[in-house]
């Protein structure tokens, strides 16, 4: 454009603008001048647009008034990169902020390190972020802001509280972990000796708490860790602290160890070679160990575990712990499958090696070594048929009520006998609790809002001195009500997660084959196999049952 001259000053650092209104053909246009600058050698220089606009407005004024005054203005300059460091999270994080240069220079890696040290960054500094920032800056436009985390502190790791390590396994754990017979193959009949400890046997060890690990922030300040704490023993029945070691619990009597809910109990154990008409029924306050068979119509009731190293036939067994039958169990079923002659009821879990015609009820898991048929099962856990790590057993012709997965090698039978699995009762119980909690939460929210509005109204008024204590008391009650509201909200959130978790975890898994006649139910949502499948997974997702091949 005529009358417009852009050039560098003698130092080669500043951009000068010269406007000569006397040679203008028309008023100077800022957009045209900026376009010329951006297409020239000054494109990478910093241009102060406000200064440029002021100069153009002044020159256009002279042009309109026919004045020949020349306008000269410094409108730009060469700028090196700008560097600063930003600290976050209580100095646990340092971020490099680099503004790319306008025709100037980028700093070197060494210069960035020196600047970091001047900004008190003493620890956790990395060179890779500097390299990445400089590489990005060389390819970016002038004035681009680049941010890279360049230093990280190390948060302290608090020490762990003392832990409790059982020195003897539960009977059920022992049974579910078959012993190696030749170093390679597993003999399912060799279940090891059932653990019965003698008095003064060490059964539980307490480990020392750890001191933790101190940390540091990027400025080098040491962050001390909180050491773990000693945890007291939760003394179970028939246990005592060792006289030789305060961190060891020993059995005070001979019996069967039971580790549950972080408490070690030693159940007084009744041991017999069999239960029959000769021994009579057993009703014992403790554990019962039968090294033989339980014959027809015999009854065993125990407050602890019941372990039968033999066979149970048409027996009634109740346990306050686990029921373990190492051989198998058999019972008779009436025509409409409403009455079973062999009944096993446990407050813990149930394990049988194989079974038929059984009524099983427990609060834990039901595990079967090989096969289970023509039985009724109800548990609050899983049903697993086969080895725990790779279930390959058979489950067919049963009615199952479970609150977790049902897994076996084969589900159903070639004959098409029905296998019904119902997950509804546990889910409905969860829904009832959730609905009750949601209703309680709704009522407390309404009450809290109403109380808050009334107290806000009262606080705006002039309160007589004799009523001030009453208002303070009401404010304290409101504070307690809000704390209760937050607590119930957290419980409602946990209950919602439990509902979602329940639906995601229930499933049928057949590791070998799934036959026709197998059905899964969750309230009014049903699935039934109409043909034979290979390895299969049936899961509940999106309010529907879905079948897919199991890998």
pLDDT in tens, 177-233: 655 545 444 444 444 445 688 889 899 999 999 999 999 999 999 999 999 999 999
- Ranges of beta strands (E only) in 153-211 are 164-166, 202-206
* pLDDT computed for residue 178 by the predictor: 57
- Which residues of the chain fall short of a pLDDT of 70? 1, 177-195
Euclidean distance between the first and the last CA atom of the chain, given in angstroms as a whole number: 74
Among 348, 370, 369, which residue's Cα sits nearest to residue 360? 348
* pLDDT computed for residue 109 by the predictor: 92
* pLDDT computed for residue 43 by the predictor: 82
Contact call for residues 257 and 166 (beta carbons, < 8 A): yes
* pLDDT computed for residue 190 by the predictor: 43
Is the dihedral angle over the CA atoms 36, 38, 43, 46 positive or is it negative? positive
* pLDDT computed for residue 466 by the predictor: 83
Report DSSP state, residue 209. Answer: P
Contact call for residues 51 and 73 (beta carbons, < 8 A): yes
* pLDDT computed for residue 183 by the predictor: 47
d(CA 160, CA 405): 33
The residue assigned the tokens 């190492």 is: 326
* pLDDT computed for residue 336 by the predictor: 79
3-state secondary structure of 127: coil
pTM across the whole model: 0.70
């Amino acid at each position: 454009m005529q009358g417009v001259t852009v050039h560098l000053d003698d130092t080669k650092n500043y951009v000068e603008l010269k406007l000569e209104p006397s040679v203008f053909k028309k008023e100077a246009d800022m957009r045209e001048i900026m376009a010329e600058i951006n297409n020239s050698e000054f494109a990478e220089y910093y241009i102060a647009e406000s200064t440029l606009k002021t100069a153009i407005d002044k020159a256009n004024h002279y042009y309109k008034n026919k004045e020949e005054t020349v306008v000269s203005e410094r409108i730009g300059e060469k700028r090196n990169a700008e560097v600063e460091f930003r600290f976050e999270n209580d100095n646990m994080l340092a971020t490099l902020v680099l503004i790319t240069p306008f025709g100037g220079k980028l700093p070197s890696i060494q210069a960035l390190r020196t600047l970091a040290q001047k900004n008190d960054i003493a620890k956790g500094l990395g060179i890779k972020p500097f390299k990445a920032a400089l590489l990005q800056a060389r390819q970016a436009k002038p004035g681009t802001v680049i941010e890279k985390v360049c230093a990280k502190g190390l948060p302290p790791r608090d020490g762990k509280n003392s832990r409790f390590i059982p020195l003897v396994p539960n009977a059920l754990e022992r049974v579910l972990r078959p012993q190696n017979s030749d170093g390679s193959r597993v003999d399912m009949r060799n279940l090891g000796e059932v653990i019965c400890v003698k008095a003064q046997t060490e059964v539980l060890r307490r480990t020392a708490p750890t001191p933790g690990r101190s940390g540091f922030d990027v400025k080098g300040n040491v962050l001390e860790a909180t050491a773990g704490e000693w945890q007291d023993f939760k003394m179970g029945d028939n246990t005592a602290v060792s006289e030789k070691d305060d961190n060891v619990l020993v059995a005070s009597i001979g019996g069967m160890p039971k580790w549950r809910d972080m408490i070690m109990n030693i159940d007084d154990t009744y041991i017999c070679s069999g239960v029959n008409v000769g021994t009579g029924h057993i009703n014992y306050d403790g554990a019962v160990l039968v090294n033989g068979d339980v014959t027809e119509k015999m009854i065993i009731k125990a407050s602890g575990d019941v372990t039968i190293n033999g066979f149970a036939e048409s027996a009634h067994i109740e346990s306050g712990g686990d029921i373990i039958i190492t051989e198998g169990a058999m019972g008779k079923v009436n025509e409409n499958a409403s009455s079973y002659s062999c009944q096993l009821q446990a407050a813990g879990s149930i394990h049988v090696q194989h079974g038929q015609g059984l009524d099983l009820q427990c609060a834990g898991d039901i595990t079967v070594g090989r096969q289970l048929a023509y039985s009724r099962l109800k548990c609050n856990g899983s049903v697993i048929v086969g080895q725990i790590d790779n279930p390959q057993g058979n489950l067919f012709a049963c009615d199952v009520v479970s609150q977790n997965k049902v897994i076996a090698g084969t589900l159903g039978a070639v004959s098409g006998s029905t296998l019904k699995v119902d997950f509804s009762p546990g889910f409905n119980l969860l829904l009832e609790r959730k609905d009750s909690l949601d209703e309680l939460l709704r009522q407390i929210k309404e009450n809290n809002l109403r109380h808050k509005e009334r107290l806000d109204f009262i606080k705006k008024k002039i309160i007589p001195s004799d009523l001030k204590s009453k208002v303070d008391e009401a404010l304290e009650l409101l504070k307690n009500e809000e704390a209760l509201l937050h607590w119930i909200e957290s419980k409602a959130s946990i209950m919602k997660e439990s509902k979602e978790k329940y639906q995601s975890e229930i499933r049928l898994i057949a590791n070998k084959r799934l036959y026709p006649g197998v059905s899964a139910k969750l309230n009014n949502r049903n699935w039934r196999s109409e043909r034979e499948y290979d390895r299969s997974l049936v899961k509940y997702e999106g309010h529907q049952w879905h079948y897919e091949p199991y890998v």
